[in-house]
Chain A
């Protein structure tokens, strides 16, 4: 007999935000899924008619954990609109800010958001379960506290240059506000060294960064795990072995198309910022990968759809061409008609396709053979995609794979800051259009601005979570998380941990969607409703 069940799971995010998921399942398999961003925030409306630099103050506050990424975009959007000149020191200090924010998110996400699900009773019959529980259980796991504590260190470096994390506005058109001293550089280097010694090499890798960076294929990765006890028993070694044993590599595939804007503008290649020259100036490359071919990123190929979003209908349009959104009446999850409008998130599309944003997209772009000499060249994840394909495991591994490289980048960039040189060149204000983009920890983030008569006429933010949690588009195609949930087998509908793991593998931090809102108390965290 076919058992038809409807599950409403709310909320899915562990940190903050409101992502509601409605999945329909038959015989224990998800047949249809809808994601609902349940709150309207209106950050774009706030800025209409205001000072052109308002985005530097307002947009970092869109998200408590991606504020530096929003700032990177807001300052870049103004740089391109005002045609500023950026000194190398400014590009380095902005990149350091972006990289420290991303690297702090890596252990925080792994221990506080993701790995606690691996300690779920669903896996209790697996041989590695006891060890996973011992290390990764929420709050009491032996690695939990170490990982979460380590995650607080890189943002100390951000604070040295930005004053505080989160919610600094230190990146401004024309450069950065700070003019660091020898003391700041030395202390920043020492803090990152602690991060490496206290967690990255000792707890996470069980080997040196150099040894880990030699891994170029899935076979290399498996050999690395078995090379010695230190690597086998490191948190990464355990994570890989347990993931394969628990089957985390078997579900959560997604749409199979990936988008990244790339980030870390090279200190000598973006001194005269333009929209057109951006993609060849980034160190972490951008692009679109459709499962077979790499396509160069062109921001003009992005459109946003609102057919299934609670905004007045307009045709799918590029952010420069779309009006500020007009909010309509929304419904709660139970009363929502999913054939109509059902989310506060818009549905961004690249060349018309839903695309996954995030670390997995980035590491796939790293494997593009056409990458330039100053860009990352790392074939590993094209090989993993070929041999394993996308899954909860692949997505999590991609996120963690970035930590050693980011550590190396931050260390190198600190060494390149020239204390005698400029940090800021005062720009001239002017009207015009601008585009600023980056890779936030959770994926492609961009701001589009239009300035007219010295005030903001239009401001559009497309966040990585908009890409990932977006609803159906005009043609009825699912968003990436919706697609990733379809086909997922749910063992216990009273505790559908699989759905949570898929959503969390995207690091879906709803507070990062422009059109959503944070606001659930910590008590409701694990209350799954049926």
Chain B
């Protein structure tokens, strides 16, 4: 209502505030988690609206500050640059199958879905449905369940808060160091998982 994709404006206009003095609160997600909706309504109804801080897209910060990666069981594989894939236990889905966990702000891995799990806990890449622009890359050929590549081997989308150059340098260093450690006999089994 107050945004078009990531641009402020939209149907109600950039400076809209309601009679109660509030701007539009955007609860994103496809679908939005029921807790995201009901908890914000409860906060408003119980006089806690002052505790509902909004980010630049008017998303409640309490749910949309952390990244989907926060609480992902494969976070250590991400750090160690270990690839995951469909039908496989362990490994990070960022490198090959397009997981958007490091660039998507949502609490999926903190509060869980259906009281049980989350996409990345079930080896399902995050689709980034709480970020403007979903479905990302407009579903162009080669963008669905594949990580788009830069120069043919570097991930085109890098984790939020990184420059491309910075990320490629750090990740490359990590990957080389990991390989050297492995050759030197370091035990890397801690990122594997069992049936």
B179: Cβ under 8 A from any A Cβ: no
* Contact status B144-A54, CB under 8 Å: yes
CB contacts (< 8 Å) of A415 on chain B: these are: none
CB contacts (< 8 Å) of B88 on chain A: these are: 179, 424
A517 smallest CB distance to B (angstroms): 16
Bound complex: CA A364 to CA B115 (Å) = 36
Per the 8 Å Cβ criterion, residues 179-196 of A in contact with B are: 179, 181-182, 187
**Interface size of A in residues (CB-CB distance below 8 Å):** 47
Question: Which of B30, B124, B129 has its CB near the most chain A CB atoms (within 10 A)?
Answer: B124
* Contact status A54-B139, CB under 8 Å: yes
Question: Which of A51, A166, A174, A424 has its CB near the most chain B CB atoms (within 10 A)?
Answer: A51
Bound complex: CA A281 to CA B106 (Å) = 40
Question: Which one of A135-143, A156-164, A383-391 is at the interface?
Answer: A156-164
* Contact status B114-A57, CB under 8 Å: no
A420: Cβ under 8 A from any B Cβ: yes
* Contact status A163-B113, CB under 8 Å: yes
CB contacts (< 8 Å) of B129 on chain A: these are: 167
CB contacts (< 8 Å) of B169 on chain A: these are: none
Bound complex: CA A162 to CA B67 (Å) = 20
Q: How many A-B residue pairs have CB under 8 A?
A: 117
CB contacts (< 8 Å) of A50 on chain B: these are: 138-141
A170: Cβ under 8 A from any B Cβ: yes
Bound complex: CA A58 to CA B143 (Å) = 13
A56: Cβ under 8 A from any B Cβ: yes
Residues A162 and B87 in contact in the complex (CB < 8 Å), given A51-B142, A155-B114, A181-B194: no
Complex partner residue of B116 from A160, A167, A182, CB under 8 angstroms: A160
Complex partner residue of A165 from B114, B141, B195, CB under 8 angstroms: B114
Bound complex: CA A184 to CA B145 (Å) = 24
* Contact status B122-A172, CB under 8 Å: no
Complex partner residue of B195 from A158, A420, A426, CB under 8 angstroms: A420
Complex partner residue of A58 from B85, B113, B139, B194, CB under 8 angstroms: B139
Bound complex: CA A455 to CA B30 (Å) = 24
* Contact status A163-B121, CB under 8 Å: yes
* Contact status B193-A181, CB under 8 Å: yes
CB contacts (< 8 Å) of A436 on chain B: these are: none
CB contacts (< 8 Å) of A247 on chain B: these are: none
Bound complex: CA A160 to CA B112 (Å) = 11
B68 smallest CB distance to A (angstroms): 11
* Contact status A51-B141, CB under 8 Å: yes
CB contacts (< 8 Å) of B168 on chain A: these are: none
B29 smallest CB distance to A (angstroms): 9
Bound complex: CA A425 to CA B85 (Å) = 11
A53: Cβ under 8 A from any B Cβ: yes
Per the 8 Å Cβ criterion, residues 107-126 of B in contact with A are: 108, 113-125
* Contact status A57-B122, CB under 8 Å: no
* Contact status A51-B140, CB under 8 Å: yes
B71: Cβ under 8 A from any A Cβ: no
* Contact status A164-B118, CB under 8 Å: yes
A414 smallest CB distance to B (angstroms): 15
A327: Cβ under 8 A from any B Cβ: no
* Contact status B86-A176, CB under 8 Å: yes
CB contacts (< 8 Å) of A166 on chain B: these are: 31
* Contact status B114-A177, CB under 8 Å: no
- Decide if the interface of chain B is mainly helix, strand, loop or mixed: loop
A9 smallest CB distance to B (angstroms): 28
* Contact status B122-A163, CB under 8 Å: yes
CB contacts (< 8 Å) of A156 on chain B: these are: 114-116
B92: Cβ under 8 A from any A Cβ: no
CB contacts (< 8 Å) of B125 on chain A: these are: 177
Bound complex: CA A50 to CA B136 (Å) = 12
Question: Which of B116, B123, B141 has its CB near the most chain A CB atoms (within 10 A)?
Answer: B116
A169: Cβ under 8 A from any B Cβ: yes
Complex partner residue of A172 from B117, B139, B145, CB under 8 angstroms: B145
B89: Cβ under 8 A from any A Cβ: yes
A22: Cβ under 8 A from any B Cβ: no
* Contact status A168-B119, CB under 8 Å: yes
Complex partner residue of A164 from B119, B140, B143, B144, CB under 8 angstroms: B119
Bound complex: CA A405 to CA B155 (Å) = 47
CB contacts (< 8 Å) of B145 on chain A: these are: 53, 56, 169, 172
A399: Cβ under 8 A from any B Cβ: no
A87 smallest CB distance to B (angstroms): 8
Residues A163 and B141 in contact in the complex (CB < 8 Å), given A57-B135, A176-B87: no
* Contact status A424-B30, CB under 8 Å: no
Per the 8 Å Cβ criterion, residues 80-117 of B in contact with A are: 85-89, 108, 113-117
A296 smallest CB distance to B (angstroms): 34
A177 smallest CB distance to B (angstroms): 5
Given contacts A163-B118, A178-B122, 7 further A-B contacts (CB under 8 A): A51-B139, A90-B87, A152-B114, A159-B114, A167-B31, A422-B87, A426-B85
Q: Which residues of A contact B (CB under 8 A)?
A: 47, 50-54, 56-58, 61, 64, 90, 152, 155-156, 158-170, 172, 174-179, 181-182, 187, 419-420, 422-426, 454-455
A-B contact pairs, 30 of them (CB 8 A): A50-B141, A51-B139, A52-B141, A54-B139, A54-B144, A57-B127, A64-B31, A156-B114, A156-B115, A159-B114, A159-B116, A163-B118, A163-B119, A163-B120, A163-B124, A164-B113, A167-B31, A168-B122, A174-B86, A176-B86, A176-B87, A177-B86, A177-B122, A178-B87, A178-B122, A178-B123, A178-B124, A179-B87, A179-B195, A423-B87
